[in-house]
Amino acid sequence: MSVRVGIGYDLHRLETGRKLIVGGIELLFDKGPVGHSDGDVLAHALCDALLGAAGLGDIGTHFPDTDPKWKGANSLVFLEHAKKLLDEKRFTIEHVDAVVILERPKLGPHFPKMREALGKALSVAGEKIHLKAKTNEGVDAVGRGEAIACHVAATLNSY
């Protein structure tokens, strides 16, 4: 058995009137991510971390944002697809560690629901998905509330 680690990063601009979806959960807020799909930074960075660890390219390779099929897509679908690809290549998900960077709203209270949604999409126990939240201390676009960003490290086992 061997262990593989992948990293993922994503950022979306936030605009008034868009739904704020993070980790498959809709949060009540006056702004949301601009994107071809639902703009879920956590799902996107997680998808890239999983694909990277498995040597399978990135989210754009599998779900091009030029494809009308993915317009407004629920990003959990991307994770379900990534999980199928991992299964085919005989990888299992050992652990996921993520940090979402956002000024407002507070994400911590929503982590249990996010872990459940992400775990369900990936067919893994929620305990394998560790989530953290940071603000950007008022600095740069994220700090001004103009963007949301996310970093994820994923550990896979191959068997």
Interface positions with Zn ion (CB under 5 A): 10, 44
Query: How near is the Cβ of 88 to Zn ion at its closest, in Å?
Result: 24
Residue closer to Zn ion by CB (options 44, 115) is 44
Residue closer to Zn ion by CB (options 41, 54) is 41
Query: How near is the Cβ of 2 to Zn ion at its closest, in Å?
Result: 29
- Measured from each CB, the residue nearest to Zn ion is 44
H helix runs in the chain, sequence order: 41-53, 59-62, 76-88, 111-122, 140-143
Query: How near is the Cβ of 44 to Zn ion at its closest, in Å?
Result: 3
Residue closer to Zn ion by CB (options 92, 136) is 136
Residue closer to Zn ion by CB (options 59, 129) is 59
Contacts of 126 (CB under 8 A, 6+ apart): 112, 115, 116, 118, 119
In angstroms, the CA 9 to CA 7 distance is: 7
Beta bridge partners of 96: 129, 154
Query: How near is the Cβ of 64 to Zn ion at its closest, in Å?
Result: 13
| Residue 88 in tokens | 């085919």
